[in-house]
């Protein structure tokens, strides 16, 4: 199939849809803030550049240890044991870098978005559309939340106005990556990626392995200092002056151990109780039962030893771009949140004390967006507040005159 490029910038959605636009891959028109590599095979978060800092903070101390401190350990210990002590941190670091790659470059469990309307694409599979979205297209009112029965406990789920779907249980919308993520734990700034159902295990192994590596380097540096003290019959300060790198690494790994060690212990607690960081910080199960808690052993098996589910998105599949280029949450909701009701988009008809407004009228494009207003009751409240403020200002002006 012939390779295609993205539509030129500056064209409106209507211009793009009217043109004979070639077929593009899903990752090329994806509305999230993700960054893709290798033509959609790898998906990173919006702040993936933080990976450089994280890798630097891990690799540089290990290089200093293996190149400067380990030479003394090789001389102090038998040859085979000394070489093994040097090889352990090097191999462990490579293992940690692989885990970072699995955490940062994998789909964390992004829930597919609903397109604006199935009428935009004749080839669109209607069976893939959720019944909730079909309800919005038919003009029915969708409540902002609804309740589901999960293991005998009622769980409330919210409607996402960005992704146009009811979020599954334990799903949350990440404001940084602009995606709904299944079993959302948190957005990790150190790897620049959301932590969700598909990469939580790799994240847990990454954090715990990093804690072990810090402890190992910390202990080996202390052993090196003690051996220098015994060999030269000197005090600790003289030994630190002879091997200043050991002192620097001791301070660095001690500080890092508190951070990654405490984080590892916290996530062990979360695994035992089958919680996410997001749920724990929100105190979701402080006053009610956790419907996902099946006991310590079963929780460990479910979180750490269960099969990683397949990604729900095929980012390399070819799609009709107008299905996604015409969908923009700000197009439907941005006018209300910015308090910018332009005459071009919304005509005025209803009169309230001299101020004419009609929030149910659509733009002149002929597409009925009234259902979008129906699905967002908060916008009505915001618009009402806007109306009342202008009415009060108008009255004050009249009284002043």
Give the residue numbers annotated as catalytic, written as ranges. Answer: 188
DSSP codes of every residue in 123-147 = T--GGGS-HHHHHHHTT----SEEE
Return phi, psi of residue 356, to 5°: -100, 130
Rounded to an integer, what distance in angstroms lies between the CA atom of residue 36 and that of residue 203?
20
The number of C-alpha atoms within 13 Å of 244 and in the hemisphere containing its C-beta is 1
CB 316 within 8 A of CB 27: yes
CB 37 within 8 A of CB 51: no
Rounded to an integer, what distance in angstroms lies between the CA atom of residue 346 and that of residue 357?
9
Residue 94: which residues within 8 A CB-CB, separation 6 or more? none
Question: 183 to each of 71, 151, 279, 288, 291, how far by Cα in Å?
Answer: 46, 16, 10, 19, 14
Rounded to an integer, what distance in angstroms lies between the CA atom of residue 115 and that of residue 129?
8
Q: Can you say how many angstroms the Cα of residue 182 is from the centroid of all Cα atoms in its chain?
A: 10
Rounded to an integer, what distance in angstroms lies between the CA atom of residue 184 and that of residue 243?
45
Q: Which of 391, 385, 383 minimizes the C-alpha distance to 358?
A: 383
DSSP 8-state secondary structure symbol assigned to residue 68? I
Q: Which of 211, 218, 283 minimizes the C-alpha distance to 246?
A: 218
Q: Which of 28, 290, 246 minimizes the C-alpha distance to 153?
A: 290
Rounded to an integer, what distance in angstroms lies between the CA atom of residue 384 and that of residue 388?
6
Rounded to an integer, what distance in angstroms lies between the CA atom of residue 355 and that of residue 176?
38
Which helix or strand (DSSP H or E) is residue 331 part of? helix 329-337
Residue 138: which residues within 8 A CB-CB, separation 6 or more? 371
Return phi, psi of residue 222, to 5°: -65, -40
């Amino acid at each position: 199939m012939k390779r295609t490029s993205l539509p030129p910038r500056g064209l409106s959605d209507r211009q793009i849809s009217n043109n004979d636009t070639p077929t593009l891959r899903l990752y090329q028109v994806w509305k999230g803030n993700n960054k893709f590599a290798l033509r959609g095979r790898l998906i990173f978060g919006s702040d993936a550049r933080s990976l450089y800092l994280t890798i630097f903070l891990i690799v540089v101390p290990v290089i200093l240890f293996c190149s400067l401190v380990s030479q003394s350990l090789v001389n102090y210990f038998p040859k085979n044991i000394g070489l093994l002590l040097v090889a352990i941190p090097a191999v462990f670091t490579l293992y940690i870098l692989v885990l970072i790659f699995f955490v940062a470059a994998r789909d964390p469990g992004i829930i597919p978005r609903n397109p604006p309307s199935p009428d935009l694409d004749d080839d669109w599979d209607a069976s893939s559309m959720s019944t909730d979205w079909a309800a919005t297209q038919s003009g029915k009112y969708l409540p902002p939340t609804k309740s589901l029965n999960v293991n005998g406990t009622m769980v409330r789920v919210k409607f996402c106005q960005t992704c146009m779907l009811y979020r599954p249980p334990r799903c949350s919308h990440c404001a940084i990556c602009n995606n709904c993520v299944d079993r959302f734990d948190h957005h990790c700034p150190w790897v620049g990626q959301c932590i969700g159902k598909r990469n939580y295990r790799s994240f847990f192994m990454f954090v715990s392995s990093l804690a072990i590596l810090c402890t190992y380097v910390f202990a080996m540096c202390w052993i090196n200092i003690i051996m220098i003290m015994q060999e030269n019959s000197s005090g600790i300060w003289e030994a630190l002056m002879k091997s200043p790198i050991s002192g620097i690494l001791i301070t660095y790994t001690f500080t890092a151990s508190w951070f990654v060690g405490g984080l590892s212990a916290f996530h062990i607690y979360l695994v035992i109780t089958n919680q996410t960081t997001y749920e724990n910080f929100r105190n979701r199960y402080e006053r009610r039962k956790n419907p996902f808690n099946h006991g310590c052993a079963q929780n460990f098996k479910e979180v750490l030893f269960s099969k990683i589910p397949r990604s729900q998105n095929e980012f390399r599949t070819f799609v009709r771009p107008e299905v996604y280029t015409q969908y923009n949450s700000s197009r439907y909701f941005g006018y209300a949140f910015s308090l910018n009701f332009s005459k071009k988009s919304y005509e005025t008809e209803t009169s309230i004390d001299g101020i004419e407004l009609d929030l149910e009228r659509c733009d002149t494009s002929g597409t009925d967006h009234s259902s979008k207003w129906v699905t967002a009751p908060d916008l009505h409240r915001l618009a009402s507040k806007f109306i009342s403020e202008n009415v009060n200002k108008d009255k004050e002006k009249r009284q002043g005159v």
